[in-house]
Amino acid sequence: MLSEKMEAALNDQIAMEGYASFFYLSIASWCEYQGMEGASEFFYRQATEEHDHMMRIFRYVLEMDKKAIAPAIQQPPSDFKSIQSIFNDVYAHEQKVTTSINQLVNLANEENDHSTHNFLQWYVSEQREEEALIRSILDKLKLIGDGPQSLYFIDKEITQINSQVGNQQGEA
């Protein structure tokens, strides 16, 4: 059984995951408008993934006989300086989500809530993978630089990452 404190914290996480989904959707739109198909597909997939994360928590709260609350989502930014700044912002956002998940795990431990602790372990692993993926993209962006053809090469690299991630998801 979830405590009221855990119920509220999980509903806060639902809102955070919902915002992340819309944040990535907004970035996908910007990338597509800029002609960066690979980057837009990457962020459309990320938006869907974050929505799935939100729904997973939503259903867990209900499974635990508590009330899951559909969040009001704050309007994400819709204009961005560059693809490089986007990935820096995304990395900062993923770190914020990781911190939030870790706080949920700490709360579950404090409350001796083994079920929620176990449930959250999937998110702990997922966040480690998300941060590693974004760090690897940031590393590639640094190597490519910001010369005249950099956007072409950046989009090509992200298209390659899309293929790899798609293949990994097909194996899972």
Report pLDDT for 165: 73
Where are the domains positioned within the chain? 4-171
The SS3 of residue 156 is helix
Give residue-wise pLDDT tens across range 72-106. 999 999 999 999 999 999 999 999 999 999 999 99
Give residue-wise pLDDT tens across range 113-123. 999 999 999 99
Distances (CA, A) of 57 to 72, 93, 139, 157: 16, 19, 32, 32
The answer for 70, left when phi > 0, alpha when psi is -120 to 50, beta otherwise, is beta
The topology under which CATH files domain 4-171 is Ferritin (1.20.1260)
Alpha-carbon distance of 90 to 75, in angstroms, equals: 16
